[in-house]
Chains A and B, each alone.
Chain A
Amino acid sequence: MMLLWLILIPFLGGCLAWAFRGRHADASRWVSIAALSLDLPVLALATRAPSGAWLDRLNLPWIPQLGINFELGLDGLSLLLVLLTLLLGIVAVIISWSEITERTGFFHFNLMMSLTGTIAVFLALDLFLFFFAWEVMLVPMYFLIALWGHERRIYAAIKFFLFTQGSGLLMLVAILALAFVHQAKTGVFTFDYFALLGTPMSRATEFWIMLGFFIAFAVKLAAVPFHSWLPDAHTEAPTAGSVILAGVLLKTGAYGLLRFAVPLFPQAAMAFAPTAMLLGVIAIIYGALLAFGQADFKRLVAYSSVSHLGFVLLGIYAWNTLALQGVVVQMLAHGISTGALFILAGALQERLHTRNFAQLGGLWASLPRLSSWGLFFAIASLGLPGLGNFIGEFLVLLGTFQRHPVFAVIGAFGTVTAAAYALLLVQRAFHGTPRKVEVPDLRARHIAVMAGLAVAIIWLGITPQPVVDTAAPSLAALQASAATPGPGAK
């Protein structure tokens, strides 16, 4: 039952946040923080009785006529991602304290709904429920971008929505096709993840259905060539929206690949792996090059996300233990470092009303705290050893090298280009001729958030073992299910 509460608490918190909009200016914020914080002990409680790779399971009938159940499961992988969601959720509420002053009730309602949907995505084990949650997290994010975003918010929001919704429908067709194929083979119409694992099907069928899943997840993961929504959405979103988008929503794509696209279609995934890895490598290099050419702080960070998530794609399709561990660490590290950079971009925008490098520069003297945090997270983003991103990228490259040395070698260049754009970011935004700007530096609230994120990324960089250990059983289970094709497979 804990898993149900894990979803219900943020949902109810969101409703309350909206209901309290008139009472007090900050009531919605406190309600949201309280709900997300309350979810943390619930998450801890859910891990009490592990069985196998699964820490907790829940299965309730939902639409039995169509073989649909309300089935949730928490394993190490989902645990880490839910934890990231909750923490970044709290961060998002805190950093929008001074930025969002209009319609706060509805803002927090949307934020919480999006987080609810994301948590449900990480827990769902019924493919229909998964799709339901997948859609639920979209609409609120659309509102966040369209209502509280920057100049071209409507354009960005609609582009975001069309990309993700279009590909989502493609995934729906793939899910239904899988269910029908399963029914044709076994006579049972079901959307249950475990039942559908190892469904025997012909090569061509498996490939096409896998492709439906892959495209939906690749769009979410902003893999080249499906990345073009990302820079717009991230740039135009309010800071909290960018943090949630980059930190959490993009991870649902990676999670989907790990949980569904590869284990459900092992042979097709194997055959497709070189193509996917190629796309990953292209994303690493291409994203970095584009990031290098940006004149907008947030756009640069957005393109750096494309590059970082290229490592995730590369690692997933390398599909060995090392690479998968790297993927998990990279997902967490990217969530933290990119989130922090977006927060700093938001802080700059709030103070100087611009994100354009042409109007920035020379800020170190006037805004020393903001600038030094900027330097720290830019360096984290370029993958300095001792910080989380390094571990992630290193493990991914190591794992990939065992499978496809060529891709690993090309991917490794990504770390060089990362250094280029990250340092360029620092140089153009903070260095240069000192300039006097009459704005306050970072306040205590932001500094606390930055310090928390910094601790997290240093911890991840120095002792990644606990994270790796947490994810290990579920990664092993995923690898095992992908390795044993069902009975009668061709």
Chain B
Amino acid sequence: MNSSTLPFLILTITPVIVMLLIAAKRDHRLTASVTAAGLIAALASIFLVLPAGTITVTPLFLIDGYTLFFLFLILTSTLAVLLLSYHYLERMQDGPYEEYYLLLLLTALGGAALLASLHFAAFFLGLETLSIGLIGLIAYPRRRERALEAGLKYLILTGVSSSFLLFGMALIYLDYGTMSFAALGRLWDSSPASDIYAYAGFALLLTGIGFKLSLVPFHMWAPDIYEGAPAPVTALVAVVSKIAIFALLFRFFVLLGGYRSPSLLWVLSLVAIISMLAGNLLALLQDNLKRIFAYASISHVGYVLVALLAGSATALAAAFTYLAAYAVTMIGVFGVITLLSQPGPGHDADQLETYRGLMWERPWLAGAFTVMLLSLAGLPPTMGFIAEIYVIAAGVGRHLVLPLAALIIGSAIGLYYYLRIIVVMLSPAPRRVAPAPRARLGGATVAVLLVLLVWFGVFPAPMIAGVQQTVASLSFAPRTAPGSGDIFAPQRPAKAFADRESKARTSNMFNF
């Protein structure tokens, strides 16, 4: 075992410790503290192992800058969700609370496994761990009918989409006799998928991933789950699970050499375009904030898919930046909803009307919410603005005309519902029922997220420098020509990326 696995080891041991702790002594504060300490230790260890470089752990997992970057995102997101959940659970007064943290850790662990996976087995393992954690979390407030309903829906959908995935994997295995992404890519070089089994396999695989990412047309479940789940868990569903699966998809696509297959690119473009358009259009019709953000997250995944389609070094950096901004913003948004939510068996503060006049009652919270909505809309001075520009830059660099057009139209539509929420918050306030009690931990978390959002929106240079360094350190990259050798062979950092870029440079990019 290499020391590079330290973050993963910590992340694996912590749930065991927490489980034993719960068995020994039920104490909400203690459990939460131990969980947080485990997450923080794992986060700290990321920086320790960062200089170690790229390491493969069994044929299943790869730990490199890519894995560690997304691991950092997932762990900080989980930590933020934990901080938001603490007072939320307390107020629900419907114990026990301790298992919540166990499930939280399981979700993070599953996500982490997905990030590092190089093999269908690891992929499936990670995905199931992630899903089991989430099912428990979604249905955690067991006196809320909506939450139970959402939990059940998620359970069924997860089962169905996992079976799609499994069947897809099996068909691909039938054709190629391997489950390793890299080996699959090499075999694909010599005999591109021409077989009906392989086609069906990839189609099923994409369907399964589409379900998990709630891409249109596999998005129907998202609004119901988002609405039913307790607000902090919704943040987890929107951020951790999506980032983990997207990271996996990007890695899988690159290792497979998906850029050589026009049909795969075509399908993904189509999915991205309709996700961006339909996500934004459907959000227009909603009056429930959680549902609005469910549709918003559908369109946001569509935006990141544009980066995946571009597939250059710039695009990878853009995807990193975008997902970082997305994580900060989405957790912030659901953090505000969490802070405003009433305790008890009702529902969260998710009706648009609840927010009327919020700016004049709780100006700081409403101000933070406004900035987060601006970030989702891609307006300055926020991270969302920088990230959106980065993704557009990646798309322009690859002249992806149609996806870019959809992105622009989609984000113009998106403005409408984001601004609508802001206007409601700014309108004169009616008398409301007693406001939710304040939660210090959650408030501090939202404040930190807000500062990050604005700071990196105005001074993005350090963030972009970090992202570019990570990208430059990667050894896996999209290959251009068939048979360009083993992708794990030592090569100039991100050389293949550079090749692709220079190729594009020589031809005029605007061949209208």
Q: Is A372 an interface residue (CB 8 A)?
A: no
A308 vs B385: C-alpha distance in the bound complex, in angstroms?
34
Shortest CB distance B394–A (Å): 9
User: Which residue of chain B lies nearest to A174 when distances are taken between CB atoms in the complex?
Assistant: B396
Q: Is B379 an interface residue (CB 8 A)?
A: yes
Residue numbers in B under 8 Å from A132 (CB-CB): 380-381, 385
Within 8 A of B (CB), among A127-169: 128, 131-132, 135-136, 138-139, 142-143, 146-147, 154, 157-158, 161-162, 165-166, 169
A173 and B512 contact, CB distance less than 8 A: no
B412 and A162 contact, CB distance less than 8 A: yes
**A147 and B423 in contact, given A136-B380, A139-B374, A170-B408 (Cβ under 8 angstroms):** yes
From A65, A158, A173, A180, give the contact of B419 (CB < 8 A): A158
A128 vs B174: C-alpha distance in the bound complex, in angstroms?
51
Within 8 A of A (CB), among B348-401: 359-360, 374, 379-381, 385, 389, 392-393, 396-397
A65 and B396 contact, CB distance less than 8 A: no
A161 and B411 contact, CB distance less than 8 A: no
B426 and A146 contact, CB distance less than 8 A: yes
Residue numbers in A under 8 Å from B427 (CB-CB): 147
Residue numbers in B under 8 Å from A181 (CB-CB): 509-510
Residue numbers in A under 8 Å from B409 (CB-CB): 166
Shortest CB distance A264–B (Å): 15
Shortest CB distance A169–B (Å): 4
**A172 and B389 in contact, given A139-B374, A183-B505 (Cβ under 8 angstroms):** yes
Q: Is A488 an interface residue (CB 8 A)?
A: no
From A61, A135, A169, A184, give the contact of B412 (CB < 8 A): A169
A62 vs B374: C-alpha distance in the bound complex, in angstroms?
21
A136 and B412 contact, CB distance less than 8 A: no
Residue numbers in B under 8 Å from A176 (CB-CB): 389, 392-393, 396-397
**A180 and B508 in contact, given A132-B380, A161-B415 (Cβ under 8 angstroms):** no
Q: Is A481 an interface residue (CB 8 A)?
A: no
Residue numbers in B under 8 Å from A166 (CB-CB): 408-409, 412
**A208 and B379 in contact, given A65-B465, A170-B408, A176-B392 (Cβ under 8 angstroms):** no
A170 vs B412: C-alpha distance in the bound complex, in angstroms?
11
Residue numbers in A under 8 Å from B422 (CB-CB): 143
Q: Is B249 an interface residue (CB 8 A)?
A: no
- Best-surrounded residue of B379, B409, B422 (most CB of chain A within 10 A): B379
Q: Is A64 an interface residue (CB 8 A)?
A: yes
A452 vs B194: C-alpha distance in the bound complex, in angstroms?
79
Chain B: interface secondary structure?
helix
A162 and B464 contact, CB distance less than 8 A: no
Q: Is A49 an interface residue (CB 8 A)?
A: no
Chain A: interface secondary structure?
helix
B510 and A205 contact, CB distance less than 8 A: yes
Q: Is B150 an interface residue (CB 8 A)?
A: no
- Best-surrounded residue of B385, B404, B419 (most CB of chain A within 10 A): B419
A204 and B512 contact, CB distance less than 8 A: yes
A65 and B379 contact, CB distance less than 8 A: no
User: Which residue of chain A lies nearest to B416 when distances are taken between CB atoms in the complex?
Assistant: A158
Q: Is A177 an interface residue (CB 8 A)?
A: yes
B404 and A202 contact, CB distance less than 8 A: no
Q: Mark A208-232, 1 if CB is under 8 A from B, else 0.
A: 1100000000000000000000000
A138 vs B89: C-alpha distance in the bound complex, in angstroms?
40
Q: Is B344 an interface residue (CB 8 A)?
A: no
Residue numbers in B under 8 Å from A147 (CB-CB): 423, 426-427
B385 and A135 contact, CB distance less than 8 A: yes
Q: Is A66 an interface residue (CB 8 A)?
A: yes
Q: Is B5 an interface residue (CB 8 A)?
A: no
**A165 and B415 in contact, given A136-B381, A177-B510, A208-B512 (Cβ under 8 angstroms):** yes
A65 and B510 contact, CB distance less than 8 A: no
A146 and B423 contact, CB distance less than 8 A: yes
Shortest CB distance A171–B (Å): 11
A205 vs B512: C-alpha distance in the bound complex, in angstroms?
8
B416 and A202 contact, CB distance less than 8 A: no
B510 and A162 contact, CB distance less than 8 A: no
From A66, A158, A169, give the contact of B464 (CB < 8 A): A66
B464 and A63 contact, CB distance less than 8 A: yes
Q: Is B343 an interface residue (CB 8 A)?
A: no
9 smallest CB-CB distances across A and B, nearest first, come from A166-B412, A176-B396, A205-B510, A169-B408, A184-B505, A63-B461, A65-B464, A176-B393, A135-B380
A169 vs B414: C-alpha distance in the bound complex, in angstroms?
13
Q: Is B345 an interface residue (CB 8 A)?
A: no
A65 and B505 contact, CB distance less than 8 A: no
**A202 and B380 in contact, given A142-B419, A169-B408 (Cβ under 8 angstroms):** no
A319 vs B506: C-alpha distance in the bound complex, in angstroms?
35
Q: Mark B431-461, 1 if CB is under 8 A from A, else 0.
A: 0000000000000000000000000000111
**A64 and B419 in contact, given A136-B380, A146-B426, A166-B412 (Cβ under 8 angstroms):** no
From A154, A169, A179, give the contact of B411 (CB < 8 A): A169
Residue numbers in B under 8 Å from A142 (CB-CB): 419
B408 and A180 contact, CB distance less than 8 A: no
B461 and A208 contact, CB distance less than 8 A: no
Within 8 A of B (CB), among A224-262: none
**A204 and B380 in contact, given A64-B461, A169-B412 (Cβ under 8 angstroms):** no
Residue numbers in B under 8 Å from A136 (CB-CB): 380-381
A177 and B396 contact, CB distance less than 8 A: yes
A135 vs B392: C-alpha distance in the bound complex, in angstroms?
16
**Can you offer 9 A-B residue contacts whose CB atoms are under 8 A?**
A132-B381, A139-B379, A157-B419, A158-B416, A162-B416, A176-B389, A176-B397, A177-B509, A205-B509
B510 and A208 contact, CB distance less than 8 A: yes
Within 8 A of B (CB), among A404-438: none
A169 vs B430: C-alpha distance in the bound complex, in angstroms?
37
Q: Is B468 an interface residue (CB 8 A)?
A: yes
Residue numbers in B under 8 Å from A169 (CB-CB): 392, 408, 411-412
User: Which residue of chain B lies nearest to A102 when distances are taken between CB atoms in the complex?
Assistant: B428
Residue numbers in A under 8 Å from B504 (CB-CB): 184
**A62 and B392 in contact, given A146-B423, A162-B412 (Cβ under 8 angstroms):** no
A139 vs B370: C-alpha distance in the bound complex, in angstroms?
11
Residue numbers in B under 8 Å from A62 (CB-CB): 459, 461
Residue numbers in A under 8 Å from B465 (CB-CB): 65
Residue numbers in B under 8 Å from A146 (CB-CB): 419, 423, 426
A63 and B460 contact, CB distance less than 8 A: yes
Residue numbers in A under 8 Å from B426 (CB-CB): 106, 143, 146-147
Residue numbers in A under 8 Å from B396 (CB-CB): 173, 176-177, 180
Shortest CB distance A353–B (Å): 19
A162 vs B415: C-alpha distance in the bound complex, in angstroms?
7
Shortest CB distance A184–B (Å): 5
Residue numbers in A under 8 Å from B393 (CB-CB): 66, 176, 179-180
Residue numbers in B under 8 Å from A158 (CB-CB): 416, 419
B512 and A184 contact, CB distance less than 8 A: no
Shortest CB distance A360–B (Å): 29
Residue numbers in A under 8 Å from B404 (CB-CB): 173
Residue numbers in A under 8 Å from B428 (CB-CB): 102
Shortest CB distance B404–A (Å): 6
Residue numbers in B under 8 Å from A128 (CB-CB): 389
Known A-B contacts: A157-B419, A161-B419. Give 7 more (CB < 8 A): A65-B464, A143-B422, A147-B426, A162-B415, A177-B509, A180-B393, A208-B510
